[in-house]
């Protein structure tokens, strides 16, 4: 079976899945509970989510391990279960879907800040990511997806930790950008160019952006990436920015809008397209049709 790297090298467009959080809450995850705990306590729900996205046409399904670094699990006093919860995150997804669909292990920010602004040392952060990433690799992840990063040092440490553990596993590193008068920057002040330089240097194979923007701004971000790198790009837009309606959160970008946007991302040489907050299996399914239509 062809690997992600092989398929990307043949200029194939791969479809990633959509939001995880909303799917968990829809299945009864309580507010304030640790989402990763469900990898062992409610694996049926995780299998169901993986299957739903696979059925919608995703080529790559992301694991429920976004907050699985030992530092972040520490918020719930679960650091000691880092390996177990991350392994289970990969295995529940893997068991639920067919072998030709890839499993990307989601690796999100630690939730803390590095010294001198925060209290984390680089070593603590490295150890935290290494523990998480070694578990997902051991459990059979096909790709390491470092995502929603805003601090270049933290993202770099995560990429290095993954590369140190495996010389060959595909590593994607995506950051969350805001539009400013001088171009796109993360809230920590990282430009697209800086993200490209430092993350590719650290060993990432796939770069891009997830979260924080709807599809229109993501197209602009993709263009800015394309102007500074030839590496494959991964873009996961939100279904717009959240608005509230009768106390409930709504995302207004429809499956059709994201599908149209997917077409424009492909025109701008984006290789992997998926969804972030607010996207549903319906969005992924619409993007699947768009990608197939363009073939």
Task: State yes or no: residue 75 binds other proteins (CB under 8 A).
Answer: yes
Strands 243-245 and 248-250 turn out to be antiparallel
Which tokens hold the place of 184?
Answer: 């796109």
Task: Identify the CA nearest to 178 among candidates 186, 170, 190.
Answer: 186
Length in residues, the chain: 295
From residue 34, give the alpha-carbon distance in Å to each of 68, 72, 76: 10, 10, 7
Residue 70 or 134: the one with the smaller Cβ distance to other proteins is: 70
Task: State yes or no: residue 260 binds other proteins (CB under 8 A).
Answer: no
- DSSP run (H or E) holding 186: none
Report, in Å, the least distance between residue 9 CB and other proteins. 36
Task: State yes or no: residue 186 binds other proteins (CB under 8 A).
Answer: yes
Report, in Å, the least distance between residue 39 CB and other proteins. 18
Stretch that binds other proteins, among 43-51, 77-85, 237-245, 254-262 (CB under 8 A): 237-245
> From CA 139, how far away is CA 86, in angstroms rounded?
8
Residue 77 or 168: the one with the smaller Cβ distance to other proteins is: 77
> From CA 157, how far away is CA 129, in angstroms rounded?
8
Task: State yes or no: residue 263 binds other proteins (CB under 8 A).
Answer: no
Task: State yes or no: residue 26 binds other proteins (CB under 8 A).
Answer: no
> From CA 73, how far away is CA 110, in angstroms rounded?
9
Q: How many CA atoms lie within 13 A of 34 on its CB side?
A: 24
Q: Which residues contact 87 (CB under 8 A, 6 or more apart)?
A: 135, 136, 138, 139
Among 121, 242, 252, 267, binds other proteins (CB under 8 A): 242
Residue 1 or 31: the one with the smaller Cβ distance to other proteins is: 31
Report, in Å, the least distance between residue 8 CB and other proteins. 32
Sheet bearing 60-62, strands edge to edge: 14-15, 272-275, 233-237, 206-210, 171-175, 143-149, 102-107, 60-62
Task: State yes or no: residue 9 binds other proteins (CB under 8 A).
Answer: no
Site for other proteins in 110-139 (CB under 8 A): 111, 117
Q: Are 82 and 70 in contact (CB under 8 A)?
A: yes
Q: Which residues contact 155 (CB under 8 A, 6 or more apart)?
A: 146, 149, 173, 175, 195, 198, 199
Report, in Å, the least distance between residue 266 CB and other proteins. 29
Task: State yes or no: residue 77 binds other proteins (CB under 8 A).
Answer: no
Among 127, 188, 260, 266, binds other proteins (CB under 8 A): 188
Report, in Å, the least distance between residue 69 CB and other proteins. 13
Task: State yes or no: residue 292 binds other proteins (CB under 8 A).
Answer: no
Residue 60 or 114: the one with the smaller Cβ distance to other proteins is: 114
Task: State yes or no: residue 178 binds other proteins (CB under 8 A).
Answer: yes
Stretch that binds other proteins, among 26-34, 122-130, 222-230, 252-260 (CB under 8 A): 26-34
Among 1, 11, 32, 99, binds other proteins (CB under 8 A): 32
Judged by the rule CB under 8 A, the positions of this chain that interact with other proteins are 25, 30-33, 75, 111, 117, 150, 178-182, 185-189, 242-249
């Amino acid at each position: 079976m062809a690997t992600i790297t092989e398929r990307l090298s043949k200029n194939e467009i791969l479809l990633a899945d959509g939001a995880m959080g909303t799917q968990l809450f829809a299945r009864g995850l309580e507010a304030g509970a640790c989402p990763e705990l469900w990898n062992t306590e409610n694996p049926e729900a995780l299998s169901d989510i993986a299957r739903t996205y696979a059925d919608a046409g995703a080529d790559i399904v992301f694991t429920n391990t976004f907050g699985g670094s030992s530092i972040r699990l520490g918020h719930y006093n679960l650091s000691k279960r880092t390996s177990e919860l991350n392994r289970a995150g990969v295995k529940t997804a893997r068991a639920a879907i067919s072998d030709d669909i890839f499993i990307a292990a989601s690796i999100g920010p630690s939730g803390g800040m590095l010294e001198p602004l925060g209290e984390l040392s680089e070593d603590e952060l490295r150890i935290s990511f290494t523990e998480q990433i070694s578990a997902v690799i051991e459990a059979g992840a096909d790709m390491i997806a470092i995502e929603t990063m805003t601090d270049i040092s933290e993202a770099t440490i995560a990429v290095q930790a993954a590369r140190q553990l495996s010389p060959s596993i595909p590593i994607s590193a995506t950051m969350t950008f805001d539009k400013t008068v001088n171009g796109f920057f993360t809230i920590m002040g990282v430009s697209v160019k800086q993200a490209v330089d430092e993350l590719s240097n650290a060993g990432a194979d796939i770069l891009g952006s997830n979260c924080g923007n709807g599809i229109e701004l993501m197209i602009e971000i993709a263009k800015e990436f394309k102007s500074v790198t030839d590496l494959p790009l991964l873009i996961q837009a939100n279904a717009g920015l959240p608005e509230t309606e009768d106390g409930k959160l709504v995302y207004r970008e429809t499956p059709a809008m994201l599908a149209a946007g997917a077409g424009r991302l492909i025109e701008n040489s984006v290789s992997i397209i998926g969804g972030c907050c607010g996207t549903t299996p319906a969005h992924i399914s619409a993007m699947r049709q768009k990608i197939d239509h363009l073939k």
